[in-house]
Structure 1
Amino acid sequence: MKASTLTSLSLSLLSTASSTAASYSPPPLVVDVAPDHLRPYILPRYKGHAIKLTTSGQIIRFSITTNSSDGAFAVVQHTSKWTGWTSARPHTHQEAHEHFYCSKGRVELWTKKNVTGAIDEARVLTLGDFGTAPPGTIHTFQHTDPDSQLTHIYNPAGFEELYNVFSIGDFVSPHGSPYQLIGDDQQPFGDVTPEQEALLNSLDLYVAKADVYVPRRDFVNGTAGDPSINWHNSNNWHNGNNSLSSDPTDPYYVAKDYGPKYLNSENGYKVIQPLLTAEQTPNKNFTIGTLTLSPKLEGDKTNVAKLPHHFAIQMDEGQLALTIQGYKTEYLLPGDVAFIPSGTRFEYYATVPFTKFLYLNGGAKGLDYELLANAVPWDFPAYPE
């Protein structure tokens, strides 16, 4: 072959490679359903694969799944009208640590450590309230407002597959309705059959039958259980400091803005409110909390992070500018979810006052760990003037 022919062939190959590289673009960051593999993404509010959970209109939306987080953790959004029934039989998990965050309305939550002498606790969660049920905790829940949303968080991921197994069909709403508008309020389940029980056990759900556990209904100002535990009193819904448990096998609750708080003053103000740290997880591998930011002012630097574990955001208030490595800046609104894989650089800042989001870290040293290193204890859920 002549040298000129080789040169032409080389130039042709280089041109093709250059053209291919120039035409490549990453998949879109903003998606309608959680991806089936690990990558960054943003899922807008009321997006995500949605299924019908009950005949009375309750809906489950999958925000973060086993596939999209590579098994680290999962998040589903459970929306419903008021119902007179619990949405699940009282049960325990052996593997999944389940956490509950009220994102809208009111939801009743029951928990009981599955040991002799344990106190049966129950709370009415309102917006921003949190509860956690470690493996072995008997628990169940019920929506009690006309428009309620409960965020379920599982670590590790995997349990969310149960919803697909028991789905009664996909839910599609072109207008983004939170749930089906069905007037009936039928009990979503009956007595468990041996066949159902075997299937549930295979999915990490172990029913606590009525001879073992019945949810108590003696709520007083939103609480039922040990009166020494700060949550509500006769004059106020929320009362006193809600500390985090020192025992990772204990279920516990944290009322909105009543848990521990810290102030970080780097690049504007940030109020960090841990809801769960690695010390409250059996495997020391997960943290949850909220972060409230002041808006970026002239002269402030953009916040930058690159974390060793998978990280996620669920927006509560305000607007957050988020730039993930390789993508243009997007603006998150309340209800939006963002997932950022470990080792991925991202930048963020608040565009409006009092921007707040729920954070999830798939390890002990996440964004909260970095911010708390330069924070001081703080008495307020708001940042300084």
Structure 2
Amino acid sequence: MRLLATAKETSNAFAVVGTGGTFDNPIGFHYHREAHDVFLCIKGTINIWANDSARSLGPGDFASVPPNTIHQYQIASSHTEFLGLIIPGGWEEFFRFIGEPFSGPLFPTHDLRSPFEVLIPKLIAATEKFDMIPVRDKESFDPQPWDGTESLLPGKCENGGYFLKADTGPKFVVGGTIVRPLATRKESDGKFSIYSVEGSELHHGKGLEKTTFKFEKTHHVMQVVEGLLSVIVDGKESVVGSMETIFIPAGTEWRCAAKSVAVKYYVFANGGGIGEILTETGSPFQWAVVPEAGDVSVWDAKQLEGLQKELEFVIV
């Protein structure tokens, strides 16, 4: 478990964690009264249960688990990596409480200690300290096949949550940048958003790459999964590579652009953020990958300027 951004960085707005592991048993059914969990698989396989539904998630697959949804997860491949956003921030301290410091490159591969001696006592203590209520009488069941209903956003936040298959759902293009919402403010009861963004250095300047934004209230966390991303925050450039993370605090002036022929990254924000701007200024897009030169879309600068008050940002 890696804490990529915590409540301390986001003023308790949210936290983003990365988890890696190998084949294991399900962690056990439970629910949260306040915390909204999400699971975004980026490598391997993870099984997610939410009330009476369950799916096996592969890279790019997504699950949203709102408060009071009974859920559990299981790492189901030799090397699984997934990202999670925790709303509100602070609940990530649960992992410090039950975990131990680890200095290896990925995750422990041969810990032979008994969980009944090492982990279970901590979990019992954690249920009294954190927002986690075990549901011990719920019987587990096998994950169900993807049936094609997992290609649309529900447009609301409700108990039970939803699954979203990789590379499905609505897509938009702004210049040469593709944006795909995994969770908007509608699906999170106004609390957060998560977007998948893909672009190419070959299309530099055709989208919003040269536009500098300032969000007074919205923090952003960007996790790159392919290629290189240039992010300039308050005049200082950072080049973020695959499996690296950058945190952009609210109140800073920033812009970002692809720094390689192809880049893919995920954006987490406590609000609509840059992902919402991209979808509002973009045009519907049907293809699966970054567009060729002939498919690059034109966007309206005046429309972008007109969105500043509604989406709570300033063009610098």
TM-superposed deviation, 1:324:
0.9
The aligned length equals: 288
Structure 2 regions of 5+ residues with no counterpart? Answer: 293-316
Native 8 Å contact 1:313 1:357 kept in 2: yes
Residues 191, 67 of structure 1: alpha-carbon distance in 2 compared, 3 angstrom cutoff: closer
Give the corresponding residue for 1:143.
75
Aligned to 1:54: none
AA of the residue aligned to 1:204:
D
- Runs in 1 of length 4+ with deviation above 3 angstroms? 183-193, 195-199, 296-301
- Residue number in structure 1 paired with 2:307: none
Cα deviation digits, residues 79-123 of structure 1 (max 9, x gap) = 11122x11x2210001111111112111111111xxxxxxx1111
CA offsets per residue over residues 302-356 of structure 1, 9 Å max, x none? 34322241111011111111111142x2211111111111121112111222311
CA contact (8 A) 2:14 2:87 kept: yes
Residue in structure 2 matched with residue 165 of structure 1 by the alignment: 97
Cα RMSD of the aligned pairs, angstroms, is: 2.4
Q: Is the counterpart of residue 346 in structure 1 residue 287 in structure 2?
A: no
- TM-score, with normalisation over the residues of structure 2? 0.84
Letter in structure 1 aligned against 2:224: M
Instruction: Say yes or no: does 1:375 pair with 2:282.
Output: yes
What code does the residue aligned with 1:287 have? S
Match of 1:378, as an amino acid? F
Secondary structure at 2:33 match in 1? coil
Question: Which of these residues, 138, 155, 158, is aligned with residue 87 of structure 2?
Answer: 155
Distance 1:145 1:366, change over 3 A: same
Going from structure 1 to structure 2, the CA distance change for 1:241 and 1:78 (only over 3 Å counts) comes to closer
The 2-side partners of 1:303 and 1:285 are apart by 25
Which secondary structure does the structure 2 equivalent of 1:352 belong to? coil
Q: Which residue of 2 aligns with 1:43?
A: none
Which residue does 2:20 correspond to in 1?
79
| TM-aligned CA deviation for residue 247 of structure 1 | 3.2
- Secondary structure at 1:373 match in 2: helix
What is the identity, as a one-letter code, of the residue corresponding to 1:216? Answer: F
Residue of structure 2 equivalent to 1:214:
139
Cα deviation for residue 199 of structure 1 reads: 3.9
Whether the aligned pair in 1 keeps the contact of 2:21 and 2:78 (CA below 8 Å) is yes
What TM-score results when the alignment is normalised by the length of structure 1? 0.69
Residues 189 and 247 from structure 1, CA distance in 2 versus in 1: closer, same or farther, beyond 3 angstroms?
A: farther
Residues in 2 aligned to 1:240 and 1:140: alpha-carbon distance in whole angstroms: 21
Change (3 A) 1:186 1:214: farther
Find the aligned partners of 1:297 and 1:65 in 2 and give their Cα distance.
Answer: 34
SS at match of 1:181: coil
- Counterpart in the other structure of 1:204: 131
Point out where structure 1 has 5 or more consecutive residues left out of the alignment: 1-59, 113-119, 225-230, 233-238
Answer whether contact 1:197 1:206 (CA < 8 A) is retained: no
2:234 maps to which residue?
325
1:278 aligned counterpart, secondary structure: coil
CA–CA distance in structure 2, aligned partners of residues 298 and 171 of structure 1: 40
Q: Aligned pair 1:278/2:188, yes or no? A: no
Q: Secondary structure at the match of 1:137?
A: coil
- Identity percentage over the alignment? 25
Residue 242 of structure 1 pairs with residue 151 of structure 2: yes
**Does 1:108 pair with 2:47?**
yes
Distance 1:305 1:122, change over 3 A: same
State the partner residue of 1:295.
201
| Rg larger in structure | 1
CA contact 1:104–1:147 (8 Å) conserved in 2: yes
- Secondary structure of the structure 1 residue equivalent to 2:70: strand
Q: Sort the Cα spacing of 1:241 and 1:125 in 2 relative to 1 into closer, same or farther, 3 A.
A: closer
